[in-house]
Amino acid sequence: MTKQYTDSADAGLQKANLIPEIVDNIAGIRELRRDIHAHPELCFQEVRTADLVAAKLSEWGIPVHRGLGKTGVVGIIKAGSSDQAIGLRADMDALPMHEQNSFVYASRYPGKMHGCGHDGHTAMLLAAAQYLATRCHFDGTVYLIFQPAEEGGGGGDAMIKDGLFERFPMQAVYGMHNWPELAVGQFAVSPGPVMASLNTFRIEIRGKGCHAAMPHLGLDPVPVAAQMIMAFQTILTRNANPLDAGLISVTMLHVGEATNIIADKCELAGTVRTFSEELLNLIETRMSDIARHMCSAHGMECEFEFTRSYPATINHRQPVELSRRVMATIVGDQQVLDQQPTMGAEDFAFMLQAVPGSYCFIGNGSGDHRNAGHGAGPCTLHNTSYDFNDDILPLGATYWVRLVEESLATQ
């Protein structure tokens, strides 16, 4: 049975086939979401959030396992006799940024903010868990994965290293992220690469300091740094296949302490994003060659560091096809869009390397949902004026439930 959700002014939700019981209970889930928003916690510090999640799951009679990835929580719902299982993942951590919103549930912790909607992701999975706890219209096992430290901490990888897939074997794993570029009532999902790998670099150019009025007595690292920055861009324009997407951004440049002194060293740092490991290998090799040889040509030394943090997020075809079918039953075929790959990164990628799965976007709208007291900025991810759209809570929860019922259909 489904229900037309008409409490929202958005036409996309008015036509959605949402589960009535989820809609009826959404006020309590909304309060949980706002409570989490008011108490943001950073990577691997999600103690209060994990306690709240574990308490609600236990209240609904769902067995809970804790401690994977330090603060991770896994809930288990079993029905029937099948040995088939899937995982549903939500991230819990916040960002180290100061919230500009002033509504009543704004962050109470200066310098910490749920600026990416992980509070909403957690709430949507809790709403699905509340429904599934008493209405097991499936045959198999659902693992509810509440993951810490997505924002740069690699919490997904940490959970895997702590035995996530050995302790809770599953045939597929699914993730979902709100997306402000999509209208409310829309989903987007596609097979293949959908988010880029996350990699960082640091380069120290070691010259020889001297008086700025006597540059011939020293080795100035600044012109070398300038040449190096420009040369890096030729990797993408002259070495890489033009059809392979990649990005090299020098985002930090630290040099000097006074206007009349040529510094003895200069440090560059930044990020590299790709969708393929082949291109990433090429970029790392060429950046290292350029940095070392350019410094050597100017009589200087170089220290080059390249760190691979998150792999590319690559969806698997069969789970994606299943996701699309489920979404279409909820919002209609026309509202299920192709996912446009983004150079943003996501550590759900680690889970997709270990188990087949699908990572989708759910529309968060343009920001019109925000009440009085929001900041002046746009409602985009990682913006100090961002706020998750509570109107989509029942939509995301309905997707999770229908996905379970379709994946683990009773015979």
Q: Quick: pLDDT tens for 52-92.
A: 999 999 999 999 999 999 999 999 999 999 999 999 999 99
Looking at residue 10, its pLDDT comes to 57
Q: Say what the pLDDT of residue 75 is.
A: 98
Residue 6: pLDDT band (50, 70, 90) is very low
pLDDT digits (tens, 9 = 90+) for 280-305: 999 999 999 999 999 999 999 999 99
Note the pLDDT of residue 117.
98
Mean pLDDT along residues 153-181? 98
Which pairs from 213-220 meet CB under 8 Å and 24+ separation? 213/260, 215/262, 218/262, 218/264, 219/264, 219/298, 219/299, 219/300, 220/262, 220/263
Please spell the DSSP secondary structure of 280-291, one letter per residue: HHHHHHHHHHHH
pLDDT class for 3, splitting at 50, 70, 90?
very low
In the chain, which residues fall in CATH 3.30.70.360?
198-310
Does the structure show a pLDDT above 90 at 14?
Answer: no
For 234-252, letters b (16+ CB in 10 Å) and e give ebbeeebeeeebbebebee
**Nearest CA-CA partner of 147 in 85, 198, 71:** 71
Give the pLDDT score at 411: 66
Task: Pick the closest to residue 23 from 403, 323, 392 (CA basis).
Answer: 392
CATH of the domain spanning 198-310: 3.30.70.360
Distance CA(74)–CA(193), nearest Å, equals: 27
Residue spans in the chain of domains classed CATH 3.40.630.10 = 3-195+312-407
| Joined tokens for residue 182 | 């999509």
Task: Please check whether residue 281 is in contact with residue 313, taking contact to mean a CB–CB distance below 8 angstroms.
Answer: no
For residue range 329-373, what is the model confidence (pLDDT) as tens digits?
A: 999 999 999 999 999 999 999 999 999 999 999 999 999 999 899
Rg (CA), the chain: 24
Of 3.40.50.2000, 3.60.15.10, 3.40.630.10, 2.60.40.1120, the CATH number of 3-195+312-407 is 3.40.630.10
Q: Does residue 5 register a pLDDT over 50?
A: no
Sign of CA dihedral 92, 96, 101, 103: positive
Q: What is the pLDDT of residue 233?
A: 97
Instruction: Give me the phi and psi of 17, to 5 degrees please.
Output: -90, 90
Q: Distance (Å, rounded) from C-alpha 32 to C-alpha 169?
A: 29
Quick: pLDDT tens for 186-230.
999 999 999 999 999 999 999 999 999 999 999 999 999 999 999
Q: What's this model's pTM, rounded to 2 decimal places? A: 0.94
The encoded tokens of residue 93 equal: 């951590």
Task: Give the model's confidence band at 410: pLDDT under 50 very low, under 70 low, under 90 confident, else very high.
Answer: confident
Band (pLDDT 50/70/90 cuts) for residue 9 is: very low
